[in-house]
């Protein structure tokens, strides 16, 4: 079976230009790059600033490696469920801009952060606002033909695929599914395979990320406790064919050697499925 293996752009140095990241990911043999739109002004400008957007899309169009997915974590600072109406308005502005960017850049899937709020305390109001604005986001995405998938997070609100599926079923749209982070699920439950099985048919892609209890990032593959073989086999059986390697550059290694080393670890798990 054909499986696409992508790489999260933060696995490479922040000092690299976007064009350099595309070239390095391609040199390592990845099938696509996942672009990050995080809460920093620099990353948000990619979708909110017309000139920056034009430059990034130009890099994508002139390169030979596709940008198939977007990790949209900017809603951490500007959450859909915020008590502050100004922040909720900003969250929708970012969502529309991210969808427009994706449509222009050929991005198929936006990974949507599973937070009602992050820097605030969640309550019944934040969950209600989140649900209300989620419906608006799905309407935007459906008009553009761009799919969204929930990332399972490190907070209790949506740290499992089953919790994400509650909102997928509530919205009931082909444009909202689950794009789980299996490392975060592993930290949330011992029954991580059961959690994935519970949402069969609603997973459109998966983040492969290493974790240990209480640690959610900055680890190389093989340093944690995630059962990649079990999770990958379960996801393959469900028909999932898009997998993104999520890890962070360590700040010292040769960038190409670093990402190639981590890719080789994952490739061995896929065995004949690549």
pLDDT in tens, 142-174: 999 999 999 999 999 999 999 999 999 999 999
Helices (H) and strands (E) in the chain — how many of each? 10, 8
214-242 pLDDT, tens digit each: 989 999 999 999 999 999 999 999 999 99
Cα 32 → chain centroid: 13
3-state helix, strand, coil in the chain (%, to 5): 50, 15, 35
Q: What is the C-alpha separation between 224 and 183, in angstroms, rounded?
A: 9
Tell me how far CA of residue 61 lies from CA of 106, 218, 246, in angstroms: 9, 30, 23
End-to-end CA distance of the chain: 7
Q: Is the Cβ–Cβ distance between 12 and 253 less than 8 Å? A: no
Using the Cα atoms of residue 247, residue 252, residue 256 and residue 258 in order, give the sign of their dihedral. Answer: negative
Q: Identify the CATH number of the domain defined by range 4-273.
A: 3.20.20.150
pLDDT at position 30? 98
Alpha-helix runs per DSSP H in the chain: 18-27, 41-48, 50-62, 85-105, 124-144, 161-171, 182-188, 192-198, 228-237, 255-270
Arithmetic mean of pLDDT, 132-147: 98
Q: What is the C-alpha separation between 8 and 35, in angstroms, rounded?
A: 7
pLDDT at position 179? 98
Domain boundaries, the chain: 4-273
pLDDT at position 95? 98
């Amino acid at each position: 079976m054909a499986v696409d293996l992508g790489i999260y752009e933060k696995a490479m140095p922040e000092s690299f230009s976007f064009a350099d990241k595309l070239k390095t990911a391609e040199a390592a043999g990845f099938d696509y790059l996942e672009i990050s739109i995080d809460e920093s002004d620099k990353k948000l400008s990619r979708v909110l600033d017309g000139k920056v957007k034009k430059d990034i899309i130009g890099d994508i169009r002139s390169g030979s490696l596709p940008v198939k997915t977007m990790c949209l974590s900017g809603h951490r600072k500007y959450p859909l469920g915020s008590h502050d109406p100004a922040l909720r308005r900003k969250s929708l502005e970012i969502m529309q801009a991210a969808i427009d960017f994706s449509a222009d850049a050929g991005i198929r899937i936006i990974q949507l952060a599973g937070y009602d709020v992050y820097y605030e305390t969640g309550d019944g109001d934040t969950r209600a606002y989140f649900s209300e604005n989620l419906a608006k986001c799905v309407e935007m995405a459906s008009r553009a033909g761009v799919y969204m998938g929930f990332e399972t997070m490190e907070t209790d609100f949506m740290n499992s695929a089953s919790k994400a599926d509650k909102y997928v079923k509530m919205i009931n749209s082909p444009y909202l599914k689950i794009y789980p982070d299996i490392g975060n699920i592993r930290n949330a439950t011992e029954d991580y395979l059961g959690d994935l099985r519970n949402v069969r048919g609603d997973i459109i892609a998966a983040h492969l990320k290493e974790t240990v209890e209480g640690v959610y990032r900055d680890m190389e593959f093989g340093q944690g406790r995630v059962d990649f073989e079990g999770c990958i086999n379960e996801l393959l059986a469900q028909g999932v064919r898009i997998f993104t390697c999520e890890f962070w550059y360590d700040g010292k290694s040769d960038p190409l050697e670093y990402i190639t080393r981590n890719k080789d670890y994952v490739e061995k798990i896929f065995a004949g499925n690549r």
